[in-house]
């Protein structure tokens, strides 16, 4: 029997996720009646259809861990989808050798067993015909074995060369294979981690009141490069409808000069394959993509599969939409909310096949324009079968493409979106403020079953959500949530204006006052009380420390204060070890005793070690299991890099 295979999602229905170049650790329970010595292999190959042909099966040996649990591994050398299965069989010669040793130890007669062993060696020789040196070694052993003494026969039974030949040329005629092929997706490293900056391109103008352009966006690239971001994410760039257009503060009626919501996509100027004329041209957009790349910034685009009532699709393909019995077009609703400026597609209607193909062509259009990352708006309001099909179709041609699911919805639905293919997911981090809930939630994200298929991306705020913690906590709150987002998981993002600590909200809501969703916003990025220095420092630390670029290495540790979160991030080889403490109180200083996980860090209790606090560039000597620290609203977090002394180094060397 081969069972309890890992990684496997819902009995193989969905693929697990890994990163290019990563080793997939495969584990399984493998058991058989009796006392046979078993052998097992992981069989794997790449499935990605864009290759000229499917890969041939490759095999990697598995080894026992104890209690019938086995483990093997294989490498992911290219992007795309892989499949693996497991095959196991009994090794007759190794079983014979094991039984012979027990018989000799018990003083039993072994003449018949020696004849049996010789026959087994002959059978191995027949299977090893392509290995003439091995065949000769097997032939000699088979001839000699029946004439040997017990002690001499035992040496033959334990001969590593013979056991290796038996393992390399097995009789697999009665091998048992796992009942299905399990899929793995190998994504590019950016799918694991990166720092995002969200921006409304129309707000990039250098003067207040003027509509920004793609050329204006280019003037922001040096600023974002200086802050250390990896990804510039633009809200929708398409023509905006006029019917039902929302005014400032989400007013149901727009004034003549109101610009509307960019998520109300489509007008006489075009739809999802067009750009808003006030932003520029498609060539201007492509120029922005290239200019961003020169600054080491990748451009991400908002993918919103919805329309304004003015979208050309409605006139050209009315069969793609839902119509009421009275002949009117059904607008988007989530009662009591109504979105008069938005119309949804009928994703599962009679014409869904042609609709799906058209929406796929939208994604491919922007890929051709240079976009390889898509932040998908409200995917939880579209059918799961559609996303499963679309993402698989796109990634079969472009396995480098990343899809981020913007779905603040029910937990199981968020996980379902990750299962059907979304590369990354928004999380509930935005509303997790207390120590116990942060620890519980992030242990679930990084060490629970969903770690095999769901990668969180942390956002302290979005254009839709200004949490109460940020509304009330001042710059200290923005620093706290920034450091948490940038160190708990390898992917995080901020919405433009976060670095300016924008916290004005409509009373009693999580909505920004003067929301950028409905109007142009002009920002002074030199305004006082900004936290640009902290953003720059964090992104620099993230790039310099591989431990912060890993997902499954988060460990929480004890701090004797419920308002201080204490955790570590370490690389597997222990070359990069970080301890991180963050105050959860933006209003008052917090003192605490940190209980340093010396055993986890490989540090002897009597050993002195240096800590380098990376945010302030201060160095200290620590010794023992505890350390006293104080965090303040001005400096609410600390990130210590551990540096231990070698035998030839002293504290004097480090300080002087």
**CATH code: domain of residue 97:** 2.60.40.10
How far is Cα 457 from Cα 492, in angstroms, rounded to an integer? 5
pLDDT of residue 651: 37
Residue 313 lies in a domain: yes
Of the listed ranges 145-154, 254-263, 273-282, 551-560, the least confidently predicted one is 145-154
| pLDDT at residue 648 tops 60 | no
**Whether residue 298 is found in the same domain as residue 414:** yes
Assess whether 232 and 247 both reside in one domain.
yes
pLDDT band, very low/low/confident/very high, at 349 (cuts 50, 70, 90):
very high
**pLDDT in the model for residue 515:** 97
Model confidence at 535: pLDDT above 80: yes
Half-sphere exposure of 369 (CA within 13 A, CB side): 24
393 and 330 co-located in one domain:
yes
User: What CATH number is given to the structural domain containing 442?
Assistant: 3.20.20.80
- In this structure, the answer to whether residues 336 and 481 fall within a common structural domain is yes
Catalytic residues: 377, 406
Burial zone of 374 (CB within 10 Å; 0-12 exposed, 13-18 middle, 19+ buried): buried
For 167, list phi and psi in degrees, rounded to 5.
-70, -35
193 within domain boundaries: no
Within 10 A of 24 (CB to CB), how many other CB atoms are there? 21
Based on the domain organization, do 396 and 494 belong to the same domain?
yes
36 and 155 together in one domain: yes
Tell me what the mean pLDDT of segment 387-393 comes to: 97
**Both 245 and 379 in a single domain?**
yes
Q: Is the pLDDT confidence value at 334 over 90?
A: no
Give the count of domains, the chain: 3
Tell whether 397 and 485 lie within a shared domain: yes
Per-residue pLDDT band for 310 (boundaries 50, 70, 90) equals very high
- Are residue 314 and residue 432 in the same domain, yes or no? yes
Compute the distance between CA of residue 411 and CA of residue 16 in angstroms, rounded to an integer: 18
Q: Where are the alpha helices (DSSP H) in 145-294?
A: 150-157, 160-168, 214-227, 282-294
The whole model's pTM is what?
0.93
Q: Give yes or no for residue 53 having a pLDDT over 80.
A: no
Range of the domain at 628: 549-655
> Is 51's pLDDT higher than 60?
no
Please tell me the predicted confidence (pLDDT) of residue 180. Answer: 94
Burial of 222 (0-12, 13-18, 19+ CB in 10 A): exposed
Shared-domain flag, residues 361 and 486 = yes
Decide if pLDDT at 579 tops 50.
yes
Shared domain check, 158 and 35:
yes
The model's confidence at residue 340, banded by pLDDT at 50, 70 and 90, is: confident
Q: Indicate if the pLDDT at residue 193 is higher than 70.
A: yes
Instruction: Look at residue 655 and tell me whether its pLDDT is greater than 70.
Output: no
Is the pLDDT confidence value at 652 over 50?
A: no
From 134, 162, 186, the end of a domain falls on 186
- Work out the number of other CB atoms within 10 angstroms of the CB of residue 353: 9
Task: Give 489's contacts (C-beta < 8 A, 6+ positions apart).
Answer: 193, 442, 445, 446, 455, 456, 457, 458, 551, 554
Which CATH number does the domain housing residue 601 bear? 2.60.40.1180
Residue where one domain finishes, among candidates 548, 583, 602: 548
CA distance 528 to 501: 10
């Amino acid at each position: 029997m081969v069972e309890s295979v890992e990684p496997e999602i819902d009995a193989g229905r969905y693929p697990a996720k890994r990163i290019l170049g990563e080793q997939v650790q495969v584990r399984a329970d493998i058991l058989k009646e009796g006392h046979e010595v078993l052998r097992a292999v992981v069989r794997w190959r790449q499935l990605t259809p864009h290759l000229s042909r499917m890969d041939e099966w490759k095999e990697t040996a598995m080894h026992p861990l104890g209690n019938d649990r086995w483990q093997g591994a294989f490498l992911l050398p290219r992007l795309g989808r892989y499949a693996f299965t497991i095959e196991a069989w009994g090794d007759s010669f190794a079983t014979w050798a094991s039984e012979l040793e027990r018989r000799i130890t018990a003083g039993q007669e072994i003449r018949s067993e020696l004849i049996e062993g010789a026959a087994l060696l002959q059978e191995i020789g027949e299977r090893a015909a392509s290995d003439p040196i091995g065949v000769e070694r097997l032939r000699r052993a088979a001839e000699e074995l029946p004439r040997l003494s017990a002690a001499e026969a035992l040496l033959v039974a334990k001969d590593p060369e013979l056991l290796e030949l038996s393992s390399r040329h097995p009789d697999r005629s009665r091998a048992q294979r796992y009942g299905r092929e399990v899929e793995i997706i190998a994504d590019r490293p950016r799918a694991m981690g990166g720092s995002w900056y969200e921006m409304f391109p129309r707000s990039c103008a250098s003067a207040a009141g003027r509509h920004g352009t793609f050329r204006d966006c280019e003037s922001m690239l040096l600023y974002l490069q200086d802050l250390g971001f990896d990804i510039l994410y633009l809200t929708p760039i398409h023509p905006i409808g006029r019917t039902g257009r929302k005014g400032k503060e989400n007013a149901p009626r727009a004034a003549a000069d109101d610009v509307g919501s960019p998520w109300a996509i489509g007008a006489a100027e075009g739809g999802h394959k067009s750009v808003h004329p006030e932003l520029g041209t498609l060539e201007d957009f492509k120029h922005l993509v290239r200019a961003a790349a020169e600054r080491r910034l990748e451009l991400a685009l908002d993918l919103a599969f919805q329309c304004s009532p003015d979208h050309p699709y409605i006139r050209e393909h009315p069969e793609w939409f839902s119509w009421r019995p009275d002949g009117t077009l059904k607008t988007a609703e989530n009662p009591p909310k109504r979105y008069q400026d938005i119309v949804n597609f009928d994703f599962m209607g009679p014409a869904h096949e042609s609709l799906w193909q058209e929406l796929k062509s939208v994604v491919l259009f922007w890929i051709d324009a240079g976009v390889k990352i898509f932040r998908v708006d409200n995917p939880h309001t579209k059918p799961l079968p559609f996303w499963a099909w679309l993402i698989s179709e796109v990634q079969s041609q472009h396995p480098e493409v990343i899809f981020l699911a913007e779905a603040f919805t029910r937990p199981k639905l968020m996980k379902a979106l990750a299962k059907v293919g979304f590369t990354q997911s928004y999380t509930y981090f935005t509303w997790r403020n207390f120590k116990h809930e942060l620890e519980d939630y992030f242990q679930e994200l990084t060490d629970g079953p969903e770690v095999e298929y769901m990668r969180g991306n942390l956002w302290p705020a979005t254009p839709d959500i200004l949490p109460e913690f940020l509304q009330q906590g001042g710059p200290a709150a923005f620093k706290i949530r920034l450091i948490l987002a940038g160190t708990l998981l390898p992917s995080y993002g901020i919405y433009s204006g976060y670095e300016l600590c924008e916290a004005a909200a409509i009373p009693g809501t999580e909505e920004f006052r003067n929301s950028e969703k409905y109007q142009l916003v002009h920002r002074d990025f030199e305004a006082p009380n900004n936290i640009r220095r902290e953003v720059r420092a964090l992104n620099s630390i993230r790039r310099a420390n591989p431990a912060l670029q890993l997902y499954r290495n988060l460990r929480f540790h004890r701090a004797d204060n419920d308002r201080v979160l204490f955790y570590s991030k370490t690389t597997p080889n222990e070359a990069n070890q970080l301890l991180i403490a963050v105050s959860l109180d933006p209003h008052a200083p917090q003192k605490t005793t940190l209980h340093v996980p010396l055993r986890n860090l490989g540090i002897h209790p009597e050993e002195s070690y240096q800590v380098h606090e990376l945010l302030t560039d201060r160095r200290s000597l620590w010794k023992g299991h505890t350390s006293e620290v104080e965090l303040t609203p001005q400096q609410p977090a600390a990130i210590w890099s551990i540096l231990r002394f070698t035998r030839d180094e002293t504290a004097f060397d480090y300080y002087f």
